Amino acid sequence: MLQAIGLTSTPRRDRPPEVDDLTFEARPGLITGLLGAPGSGKTMALRLMLELEPGRGVTYFRGRPLHKVAHPAREVGTLLGDVPGHPARTVRGQLRLMCAVAGVPAGRAEEMLHVVGLDGLGDQRLGTLSLGMDRRLGLAAALLGDPHTLVLDEPAEGLSPRENSWLYGLLRGHAQHGGTVLCTFADPKEAARVADRVVTIDGGRLVADQDAAEFARTRLRPRVAVATPHAARLGALVSREARDARRSVEVVAEDGSHLSVYGTTCAEVGETAFRHGVLVHRLTDEVGDTGPMAPAPRPAPATASDALPAPSSGARAPHPRPPITPALPRTPLRPLRYELRRLLGVRTTYLLAGAVLTASVALAVVLGRTGHTPLPHLLAAWPALLPLPPAALGAGILGALAFGEEYRYPALAADRGTVPRRLGLLLAKLAVSAVAALLLAVLALALDAQALRLVYGTDLVRIPPDWPSLAASWAGLVVGCAWAGLLAAGIFRATAAGLAAVLAVPVAVVPLVQKALAAPQARSVAGLPARLRDVAWLRWPHLLDNGLAAALHLLARPQGAALALSLAVLLCAYVFTGLRGRARW
């Protein structure tokens, strides 16, 4: 059962709250409709229930507020608007991505494709989906965790009658299996036809909470709809004849040429128009909406909470209007799997890798012809006029996309604007971007070497004696660029900011570090690994001394020191912005 108690949104700019002390319940086995005109507060009420907006009140999902549910996707399935996702991602890829978010097996995606009727469209791109198919995909994502409760915001808006019939049939099946369904409506006739119970709100306040049959009897009345260029004259004639016959007839002018006549029939209105020579363009029987009644008196908080069942047996009912703190979107329950699917699920990754490798090979061949480029720079395809080699620049772009696409196509953000700053997600992105950068670096070196051997022979390419330190420098450069792009994109919420941070290291930070390192050296850190061994409690292998010495050697170079400094600053800024975002809520 879903229980909403005292929901009240936070007023903005001295305006009244969009939702004001709203209390109702949605029972299992039924479809509950939340009815209201546009601007009545329906969507805000749903967002308060899902803890996406600040306010007051509480919503219980089977006796627990949402922030105390361990796996929200297995308790509540939501569809608020369109499905956010990269337009180049396939339908199947999007569902598998959401499986990693919900912590369910990837095979669940195929089951949901069958349930929503998208079996043959798994390889279709999100950017090519029609509105009906997009809604089907949204329902599939909402049902991935097999939730007990479905919360949907006008899911049938803009759909064809056939799609409407399918959608409400699916919701009816979910309710018949014991689930709870809450969806909003703007059309009272549709609410009466689909829902089992209708909760009407107006101005954010509760107006009525009725069974569908009672709602139809009190809210919907039969009427005669008339279209005529002489609406005022015909209305006066119908009213006059009704008074003469002492019948209760109500005439409502809809606009300049339309009338709604209550308490009569098409035949009587047509005969009146015929007797007085009034031209009629349209005359039909239909069901009309009488509009919401006056808002019900605001219930006292204690009465509102006492009217609903206790959230749990033996537990004391909480205060009816506690503050609602917007919950940060949860990190994926399987972050590593999520990040791999995010990286490999779009063509951008493969196109970028292909462009980087092609540019690297072309530059290596051109540099090999000049004969003046050192072998390490030759293999890395790094001419002096470029701030970074293609592989390092490509690694930085991949890192920037890792967070940049989260904000542009927020698959993780329930409110489409906030990406969770969780340690698990950050570690997964750091690990995947590092592996991708290393793979790109190894492929670039291998292809450059093969191209140079093919064009100029084997004499040009030979293994240098200091290859371990060169390999460590190369790995540190590409991984550092990937992490710099990733952290900067996470801080500034844009891919372009990540790329700018990558380019800022060689262009702006390296010259500053070179000036700092150019000062006369008064002390040396030589022998630091051995001194650390003497003061440490644990004895590590001597091979680790060589690793520490290599790391210190890399940091002593301007490029290594600049990259390490930039990463430290970006990491601190990332942590600071994450903590500030939590403190603001």
- Residues 280 and 226 sit within 8 Å (Cβ to Cβ): yes
Q: Give the per-residue pLDDT at 326.
A: 81
* Rounded Cα gap, residues 190 and 198, in angstroms: 11
Q: Which pLDDT belongs to residue 516?
A: 66
- Alpha helix (H) ranges present in 4-84? 42-49
Q: Distance between CA atoms of 484 and 400, rounded to whole angstroms? A: 8
The reported pLDDT for the residue numbered 431 is: 96
Cα–Cα distance between 91 and 121 in angstroms, integer?
Answer: 7
Helix axes 347-370, 423-456, angle to 10 degrees: 40
Q: What is the pLDDT of residues 536-573, one digit of tens each?
A: 555 555 555 455 555 545 555 666 677 887 888 898 99
| 356, pLDDT greater than 90 | yes
User: What's the length of the chain?
Assistant: 585
Looking at residue 316, what is its pLDDT?
Answer: 40
Burial of 258 (0-12, 13-18, 19+ CB in 10 A): middle
What average pLDDT does this structure show over 200-221?
92
**pLDDT tens track for 499-542:** 999 999 888 887 776 676 665 554 555 554 555 555 555 555 55
CB atoms within 10 A of CB 70: 9
In three-state secondary structure terms, 386 is coil
End-to-end Cα, the chain, rounded Å:
28
Percent of the chain beyond pLDDT 90?
58
Angle between helices 467-492 and 495-504 (to 10 degrees): 140
Kindly indicate the confidence band of residue 347, based on its pLDDT and cuts at 50, 70 and 90: very high
Cα angle value 446/468/378 (rounded, 5°): 45
**Structural tokens at position 203:** 């101005």
Q: What was the pLDDT predicted at 226?
A: 94
For residue 81, the 8-state DSSP code is S
Band the pLDDT of 180: cuts 50, 70, 90: very high
Q: What pLDDT shows up at residue 537?
A: 55
Q: Which residue has the higher pLDDT, 83 or 250?
A: 250
Which pLDDT score is estimated for 411? 84
Question: Tens digit of pLDDT for each residue in 91-133?
Answer: 999 999 999 999 999 999 999 999 999 988 999 999 999 999 9
In the block, residue with structure tokens 């919360």: 151
What does the pLDDT read at residue 294? 57
- d(Cα 266, Cα 272) in Å, to the nearest integer? 10
Average pLDDT of the chain is 85
Other C-beta atoms closer than 10 Å to the C-beta of 217 total: 12
List pLDDT tens digits, range 222-233: 889 999 999 999
Neighbours of 320 (CB within 10 A): 21
Q: What is the pLDDT of residue 503?
A: 92
Distance CA 154, CA 338 (A): 29
pLDDT in tens, 133-144: 999 999 999 999
pLDDT band at 86 (very low <50, low <70, confident <90, very high): very high
Confidence band for 418, pLDDT divided at 50, 70 and 90: confident
**pLDDT, tens only, 291-330:** 776 554 544 443 334 444 444 444 444 445 789 888 767 7
Residue pLDDT, tens place only, 361-411: 999 999 988 777 888 888 899 998 888 999 999 999 999 999 998 888 888
Q: What's the pLDDT tens digit per position in 270-298?
A: 999 999 999 999 999 888 777 776 554 54
What pLDDT score does 553 carry?
Answer: 53
CA distances to 15, 79, 145, 186, 383 from 111, in Å: 46, 19, 12, 32, 52
In which residue are the tokens 């970074």 written?
Answer: 388
Interval 424-476: pLDDT, tens: 999 999 999 999 999 999 999 999 999 999 998 877 777 777 787 788 888 98
Cα–Cα dist 444/439, whole Å: 9
Which residue ranges form the domains of the chain, and what is each CATH number? 2-211 (3.40.50.300), 229-280 (no CATH), 335-584 (no CATH)
Task: Find the radius of gyration of the CA atoms of the chain.
Answer: 33
